[in-house]
Amino acid sequence: MPLFITSSTVRPNRLNDKKNKDYHTQYARWCMQSMNHPLYRNFVTKTLINWSFYKGGDGQWIFEEDLESFFLDESGDVRNRLKIAKNLIRPMVEQYVGNAVRLAYTARARATSDFAINERESELKKLKFAQGVAANFDFAEKTIKDNFVIGNTPEETEDIFINSWVDNHERDINNLIEYISNDINIDEIKVQCTKHLAISGLGLYKGEEVNGRYIGDFKDPLFYFWDLSAKKPDLSDSEYMGEWRYMDAPSIFERYPHLTNDERQSIERYSQNESAEIHRLVDNYYNTSVGSKIPVYEVYWKDMEVQEYGYVLDDYGYPYFARINHPDSKWKTKDVIEPQNDVYQDFLKGEKTQKIYVDILRYCIFIPKEEISSGGGNYEDIVLEYGEAPYQEKYTIDPSSVEFPYKAYTWAYDKGEVLSPLDDAIQPQRFINRLLSVAESHINNSRGTGSVIAKDAVDPRDGEESIMRNINTSKPIFVDTTRTGSVQNSVGQYGSNLGQGTMSLFNVIKEMQIAMQDVTGINEAMTGTQGGSDALVGVIESQIQRGSLVQEPFYYALTSILRQAYQHMSEVGKRVYADNPRRLAIMTGDRGMEHIIMTKNVQLEDYRVFVERDESKKTARQNGNSLLFTLRQAGLIDDLVFSNLFNRSNSDDIAIALREHQQDKAEMVKVNEQRAAAAQEGQAAAMAQEENAAANRQQAAMDNDNNNRQLDRDAEIDKTMMKEVAKNTRDEMKYLNEQNNAQAPPPNI
């Protein structure tokens, strides 16, 4: 067991004391005093006992009452008994672990913040508004439908939106947590948490940021302590919690380079004195091979901080009680508004802002002076790291609440006491071991059977050799009963072989084994070890169902740990990798990276993870393939979507792809309509042009005919006029001639 804080410590004043190095050290030492509490000691001792019984062998013979009083008699002599154990604890634990290995589940993040909800509603309002404008103004209908996917009615528009809406931010967060879960090997964490949950009754996970990466792993509850006044089974209402671990000196020097030379010398001297670890042992079972490593304690606690809050208008015009004038908030004093609600005005007491106390998480990583002094070092605490915990798990919907990096859940919890499924199986296991040891002693002391013949009844004439030969050949023997009185007094049987009493011990062992199975819920029907082939199928199914019901709280605790772990990945992992765009782009792609880090609002967006037990990944892919064939035959997806999803997607992935495909299909329909309209317009223009050309040609022909006819008319007119002129000319000439002739003198005769 770890070295407890020997000197009493008073908790520092969280309101007045400066939050410096001494403050963090004193607070951490005060938190560690819970390790002196009897409940915590009982938890550690019980866990060590359960681990010993899980290992089996001599590990199940650790109690004094099973040793001295059982293997020795009243005089102190040995009873010739062996330490025999039929390990029934390990199959119970392995049953839990085996079911956990086969446990399939889905973990999906759902956006719950005002930002995501308002964004969805805002997009829907835009489409409804566009539909209304298109319905009321004919001149704008074509332009609006070319740019928005809308229907002819508001209801149709909403149906289209619901079927095609995909939250890109939510999808990218799910891709992120899936990548993180694979990176930290969540399946191995699940198995190890199951084993610890079965043995100690407490499963534990921790997530943190290390060198720009999100790191998560299971934790051994033996190296974990918490606020014993916590009431909830997940220990989330604890005021403090922490862990201790062994680190080698080079790792300490590498991770914490700011140590002074004296502190490094103290750590090095401690690592050289391997005998100093003797005080950390409990009955030689706690930790017997730490070598030259140094115990390092890491403590987290909920502290408080005064922060300024006021009402502002969010991006969608709603009043919002937000933190202002803080690096993690975009709101400033100039953004504060006057609340309209009387309750809010009474709360602010006429002021626009109010200073309130909110929870923050502080931590301290150090080596206590009690530890370091045992190695001959300086009698001072060596503080490795302290301050406000980075990347705290907070939510915009409740900014005054903060979560610990440890994610725990207990099988059964009552006022600081943790129970495990094995607690009630330890005593029956001990009793079975005792019965086996007694039975072994009886078997070891058993001998054969034979005949007893009175020596006086042996006939001197034949002698003992004749009687022995007859017995070996199953022939009659003859004895003289004149001296013994009867054959019964002369011949008898002796025997020290296994009797009915010894065999009855095994019946008691079987009954005790059944009693253990009834308590733990792990019966022979569930493990497939039921004896006999005449068991009815209905009886076996009933036993399996009863056992499953008894085990159900165990797997509820396990899925609760997984849910908290995924929740931590979605909130903390998002902000860790938002500060590391290169790794984030590898996880979610460039577009996903842009969605996560594009604005401060997106980084602060809240998500809630829901973990549900589901079919295995192999079965999910097979069912997904069947669904893909159905959708393809129905024409709801095309060949490209089918090939991209086949044999690597489940129903959720297919649903998202189906919505995206319908959205793309609607976009394509809109594009085709635009192309058809453009083609129709082009065809109409061509036809109009052709008609105009034909009309022009016809008009030209008509004009040509008219011109020709006019020319003919003009020619006829000209001809007629020429004739008339000629006629007139002839007439005029004739007239002139006649006039001339009339005026001339008569000729001389």
In this predicted model, which residue has the larger pLDDT, 600 or 7? 7
pLDDT for 265 beyond 80: yes
pLDDT for 366 beyond 90: yes
Report the distance separating Cα 274 and Cα 183, nearest Å.
Answer: 36
What does the pLDDT read at residue 348?
Answer: 66
What does the pLDDT read at residue 634?
Answer: 79
In this predicted model, which residue has the larger pLDDT, 293 or 131? 293
Segment 94-116 mean pLDDT: 75
pLDDT for 491 beyond 70: yes
What does the pLDDT read at residue 119?
Answer: 55
Nearest to 1 by CA among 377, 279, 293: 279
pLDDT for 248 beyond 60: yes
Work out the percent of the chain whose per-residue pLDDT is above 90.
17
Measured from the Cβ of residue 524, the count of other Cβ atoms closer than 10 Å reads: 16
pLDDT tens sequence across 37-96:
899 999 999 999 999 999 988 888 888 887 777 777 777 777 778 888 888 888 889 888
What does the pLDDT read at residue 598?
Answer: 39
What does the pLDDT read at residue 283?
Answer: 38
pLDDT for 227 beyond 80: yes
What does the pLDDT read at residue 553?
Answer: 86
What does the pLDDT read at residue 749?
Answer: 43
What does the pLDDT read at residue 536?
Answer: 44
What does the pLDDT read at residue 546?
Answer: 54
CA distances in angstroms from 481 to 393, 484, 493, listed in the order given: 99, 5, 17
What does the pLDDT read at residue 599?
Answer: 40
pLDDT averaged over every residue in the chain: 76
Work out the percent of the chain whose per-residue pLDDT is above 70.
70
The gap from C-alpha 349 to its chain's centroid, in whole angstroms, comes to 44
What does the pLDDT read at residue 185?
Answer: 92
- 0.85 exceeded by pTM: no
Report the distance separating Cα 216 and Cα 205, nearest Å.
Answer: 7
What does the pLDDT read at residue 468?
Answer: 82
Burial class of residue 665 (count of CB atoms within 10 Å of its CB; 0-12, 13-18, 19+): middle
What does the pLDDT read at residue 327?
Answer: 72
321 contacts 341 by C-beta, under 8 angstroms: no
Poorest-pLDDT segment among 124-138, 238-252, 289-303, 682-696: 124-138
- Give the bridge partners for 614, in sequence order: 104
Segment 231-254 mean pLDDT: 92
What does the pLDDT read at residue 417?
Answer: 93
For every residue of 57-112, DSSP letters joined together read GGGG--SGGGTHHHHB-TTS-B----------HHHHHHHHHHHHHH-EEEEEEEE-
Tokens of residue 533, six digits: 């082939």
Segment 350-377 mean pLDDT: 79
DSSP 36: G
Tokens of residue 25, six digits: 């050290």
Measured from the Cβ of residue 341, the count of other Cβ atoms closer than 10 Å reads: 10
pLDDT for 241 beyond 70: yes
Residue 129 confidence class, pLDDT cut points 50, 70, 90: low
pLDDT for 234 beyond 90: yes
Segment 326-353 mean pLDDT: 71
